[in-house]
Every structure is written in C-alpha cells, then in structure tokens.
Structure 1
C-alpha cells in the first residue's frame, strides 16, 4: 500500500492497482490528480468536500467512482454535481478490483449544541497482502474491527485530545496511526498533539507514522 497525505483529511491510497482519494477538502492539495479509481467523501463539510474544486477533480477523472455519504450526495446533487455519485451505506462493502471499501458509522462528532449533526461515514480499506486502513472522517465512535493503520484526526473544533487518545486505544491499530485533520495547526501545536497520541495512545505508546510532506510512502 502506498499512501500520500495531501493535507488535512485528504489521503491518496494506492493499492491493488487502485488509486483512491479520500476527502478532497478545501485545506488539501487535490489539483493535478489523475487516473483515480474512486473518490470517497466521508461527509459534506468543506474541509472534506470542497464544492469549488470537486467538480474540476471529477471532470479530470471521469472514470472514477464517486462514493459518498448519503447527505453529501444530496448536497452535491443540489449543487448540480451529483451525476457521478454513489451513496454509501454503513456495512455494505464496495468492491474496487482487488480492494474492498466498507463504510463505518453514521453521524459526525458533536461540535456544539447549536450546530446540527450531519451524516458521517468512515471507511475501511482492505486488500489482500496489504495493511488494512481505517479513515474515520469526523467521528470517533466507528467500529472498524481489526485494522493495521488508523487515520487519527489530530485537531478539530469538535476534538478533545482525551477523546482522541481513547479512540486510538479502543481501535488499537496493529501498525500505527496516521495523523490527519491537522490543517488548522501550526508546527508547534501539531507536535504537541502528536506527542500526546504517541505517548498515551496505547500501553507503552503507539507508533505515529507522520506522512505530512513525505510524498508517496509505502507501508
């Protein structure tokens, strides 16, 4: 499996001859991406699905399947960009060649009582002979089962580091965590969050596989 962190919540996953982009948001570098097998959107917020840039992304990748959380599909359709979309359903596996994608969860984490919760579906990616990856979107209550790699939202308006650490401990990825959702942090603040996750995300700590700025990385 080759992974590229494209900023904030966006990951490009290359495995089993597939190229899957997860969460092309407005804090991510998604220009110039070609030959995508699928574009996956966990929920409708702009830092995960940029309505100003997604149409150009889809036009440049007309062969890509567009797998989205159902409320997000409605938003894209209302904006005139819903023609390619397929609505994901929790627990229903999508086959992408030698790769399977399984949606997990239903609702976005609580931001505060005055912001309505929207739908959110994390995704588990599995391919024979490769690590299993869970990208949770913006929720920490998904139950992905056993996974090797866990995308961990580092910072968010809804985030609390104590809840992040408990999330990592509960899921207990066998190979480590991938920092995502970090676009609002400067380097010093980001390092502080990563230190907490590394030191307390498991008994004796957890490996943090930091892909920011690393380009395509084989895991």
Structure 2
C-alpha cells in the first residue's frame, strides 16, 4: 500500500520532469539566440534575465511564481487545487532550466568554426540552411554531455515542487516518517536511482550514436 502511494507520488516527479523538458529545451534555444543578438538592448535584457534566474534559488523562483501574482494584487493565473500548483511548478522549472540550457546552446553554437558558416554562404545556402545542415549536428554533439548533466540534475530537482505543496515522492515519504516509518525515505532513493540510471544509459547511447560525426 505504501509503495503504491509512493509510486503514484513519483509519477508527479516524472510528469514535472517531462513537461519541463518539453518547454525548456526549445525555450532555451530562443533565449540563446536572444543573448547572441546583434541588437544590444535585446542582448543586454536577455543576459540580465539569465543572470537573475541563474543567480537565485529555484525554490525561491517557484514560490514567487506561484504566490507572486496574488501578493501583488493580480488575479491568480493558476488553476485551483493541485493542478494549479503543478502548472506553476512547470512554469518555474521551465524558465529556470531554459536559462541554463541557453548557456549550453550558446557555448555549442559559438564553438562551431566560423569558417564552416562562411563556406555555406559561399555555396549559396541561406542562414536557416546553414544552421540546420551545417551547425546543428555539431552543436548537438558538443552539448550532449553538459546537457545530460543538467537533465539528470532536473530529475532530482523535481523534489523542490513540494515547496508549494505538490505531493511528490519525497513529501509523501516525509509524511510516513512523521508517523515513525523511516524506510519510505530510503525507498525514494531507489526510485531516483533507477530513473537516473535509465536516463544515464539513454544519454550514453545518444553520445555513442553521435560518434560518427567528428567535430
């Protein structure tokens, strides 16, 4: 019975992990382009935003995003109940991880030799064609290891969702520990270890698949 409830709670961690990746991966690329923009005001604004997000705790960001609108006198934008708390957590996680991913994207894009872009221009390719056919594959290969580290960190960070009373697995285990049961706390480690282990194998497989492409 307890394991069933812990498993059900871990599904919330998995759901938060999934939706965070769905939104933060493309958003991170948009933020990266903004930080590399030739428009100085836009570039400065984006870099300042990234600096603020990376320089403050994720836990604080979750609280501010969930409670901030109401405390500032605005209508609460989140749905009522547990769904609202989950949506707020997804928004906070997506913004936070998009900023971290943007720096990884930016580093990968800037690491591609400019000569290859110039060669594409000489061949008459558009900027879009150069990005998708010349730059993108090299960027993916370069960013896989650091991106993998951030993704694994995200798995563990999903436990911070309990800051706004999302009943994820650690919050559920703490409820049982308050009743005198210690083993549910240790069992949560198994859930995370299995998830991270499977994710590590997947990331290692992806890196090996990219070995054919030499940067």
TM-score range, shorter chain: under 0.3
Name the structure with the higher strand share. 1
Higher relative contact order (CA 8 A, sep 6+): 2
User: In proportion to residue count, which structure has more helix?
Assistant: 2
Tell me the TM-score normalised to structure 2 length. 0.23
- Name which one, 1 or 2, has greater alpha-carbon Rg: 2
